[in-house]
Structure 1
């Protein structure tokens, strides 16, 4: 039918934007009863989440196997340093802005404190990166364990490709091409899922605003302003980094707008991963770079969440009437940066990090109830910041590895 063809030809970003605006209007007009369409949004999230584990596995295998072990070590080092530095900058920014604004001043402690979810110890998080059963990790969606196992497989294929035995090289080439084919299959599924995105976006936004309502932002308007303003400054920081590395700002954000908007409405870094990878392709970034950096970033790079943690800790301290010492503030920054390693890129995971930071600072958990009331609104913008930071880091690392494409071409010809 002609209208179906017209729908598929219409730019995706505009379809998503229309779904977002209509969803906001309908949600505010209808109110809580709009929750009846929640399954439409849940379906979109499930479709995205369906792709996460296989996409992470195959793209990381291809990424790790595409370059020599020494080259991968250099790329990986750059990615990890970038993620740690930008997360530290983000949480520091959140703390400083909140200290200036004092978002929780004048608010009262809630009558009952919510039951806090105890976050796992950092040592336990690090140990669980190594799976005792890789197939169980794949089936359960343990992203960090899947990342570790995929890197081991990819590095082993890379080592096989550089072995002296011709038979081993041929086997490596077969495994490499199989992983490439599986990755292409996943990307084709991604393109199909994205055509449903406008309907999922409509439902997600309508239910969120219909349930929370505009008035829910009033008592926490300052905290919302701090988080949204802090994210805006963090994106300015990204622009400065892109400028320093002489990358085109307009070209970057033209490609990044799809994953940024998808992250905003889905509130899931991991769920947005297929869209982020597609944006990296549009930017001309090598798969051996984005296949490593983006899956890793969706799990360990949480700039927006780190900023939210910094601002929320100050908010909780204001509500509790506690003045944090410089040592406590430094502890919050360090804890928030390290805790991002174990934070899943799924909606609401930031509350686990917040509980950890609150406990570390010695603050009461009661005021967290206030933050939890608008967590969905804050989660939208912080997830968008998370995904943008992942893509910026990938672009910067790619800019410092100009000879990678030639090396890949040579490796592929040898594999064949």
Structure 2
């Protein structure tokens, strides 16, 4: 059985065990915790080593597609925010606001987000790896990779060997995905179930529909326009092999190894994807753009605030772009909701209640968001490659 099939079996087994004996088998949850912890532990080192090796071994004259990839990331994120706004106008949703929001400090403004982004870039490299600060990891990896381009062949061979060794470790961990995901599903079903989601079912449906629309309509349209080929084999493969694992790990960073393996399977340019995949896990935030757009517009509808579509698109585009600065903060896109609400004149007290709602529906929302974010990284990296081939 291939990995995806074994993951499906793990999901089914986890659900069945949670329904049969949730208390007697509670120790199974540790399998999911260990699996996600292992992925999160190895991902920062993998990114650091792969980027250094890719840049150090790059031969002058070789071309990469990074400019095109970055343009696609920006377009994809903006259009995702636009979809979130439009669907919120078509299906206006009101929230039942409650007190007792999470005690988490959101960014107070765009300046704070940008400051956080810059400080994350210049942080100590050891601290960046320890804290999974991918902006800092990327910055130091790029600098070291460029500096090591002038090193001798033996040094470059050593870097390549280390890169291969870490990649092998990642593959060993990924092979345990079915067992880990079985533990994750057991934990979700036995502790949360679906009862917490019933009150906000309409909101969940809108979020999921918007994200599926981006994944199955917007992203394929972008690939079609750029690469001029049938986009669905690429899109469906990315969703199956990247989106499914990202859905359960709920971490774009933890899913970087999966995307790296898929990029290699698709025979993409390693000089490009070694940088574009970890970079995308930080700045390619289509799912986050949808979440911020839909929840902020739902708050506006709840309070009776009139928002014209042009203002809404500008607002959500700004929030989506700012998401890169808060990508390493627990809560991810949810913590940018107060920033977006603030631009509509909505107080932090109300906005943080919306953040609390986000945590309630996070079982579905965060999983779908991560699946879209992560699968889009591989889709746009491949689209840039195909566009380059077409131009030849």
TM-score in same-fold range (> 0.5): yes
**If the length of structure 2 is used for normalisation, what is the TM-score?**
0.88
Matched, 1:230 2:230: no
Give CA deviations for 1:160-219 in whole Å, capped at 9, x if unaligned: 2xxxxxxxxxx3433322222111111211221122111110111221233222232222
CA RMSD of aligned residues (A): 2.6
Displacement of 1:327 in angstroms is 6.1
Question: Where in structure 2 are there 5+ consecutive unaligned residues?
Answer: none
2: CA distance between counterparts of 1:320 and 1:70?
57
Equivalent residues of 1:31, 1:213 under 8 A apart: no
SS at match of 1:271: coil
Residue 353, structure 1, aligned to residue 336, structure 2 = yes
Name the structure 2 match of 1:122. Answer: 113
Retained in 2: the 8 A contact 1:69–1:155? no
Q: Is 2:87 aligned against 1:97?
A: yes
Between the two proteins, the alignment pairs up a number of residues equal to 381
CA contact (8 A) 1:94 1:307 kept: yes
Q: Deviations over 1:142-173 (max 9, x none)?
A: 21011011111222233x2xxxxxxxxxx343
Q: Tell me, in whole angstroms, the C-alpha distance in 2 between the residues paired with 1:374 and 1:354.
A: 15
- Per mean C-alpha deviation after superposition, the further-off stretch among 139-148 and 314-323 is 314-323
Deviation per residue, 1:282-314 (Å, 9 max, x gap): 101121111010000011111111111111111
3-state SS, counterpart of residue 115 of structure 1: coil
Whether contact under 8 Å (1:27, 1:206) holds in the other structure is: yes
Residues 355 and 25 (structure 1), Cα distance of their counterparts in 2 relative to 1, 3 Å cut: farther
Q: Secondary structure at the match of 1:124?
A: helix
Give the Cα–Cα distance (whole angstroms) in 1 for the partners of residues 354 and 366 of structure 2.
18
Question: In the alignment, is the contact (CA less than 8 A) between 2:238 and 2:378 conserved in 1?
Answer: no
Instruction: Say if 1:328 and 1:361, in contact at 8 Å, map to a contact too.
Output: no
Q: Rg bigger for which structure? A: 1
Paired with 1:220 and 1:132, the residues of 2 have a C-alpha distance of 40
Equivalent residue, structure 1, for 2:363: 376
For the residues of structure 1 that align with 2:218 and 2:80, how far apart are their CA atoms?
A: 9
- When structure 1 is superposed on structure 2, of 78-87 and 206-215 the one drifting more is 206-215
Which of 399, 408, 413 does residue 386 from structure 2 map onto? 399
1:22 aligns with 2:10: no
TM-score, length basis structure 1? 0.83
Choose which of 193, 198, 212 in structure 1 pairs with 2:178.
198
Q: Which runs of 5+ in 1 are unaligned?
A: 1-9, 161-170, 404-416
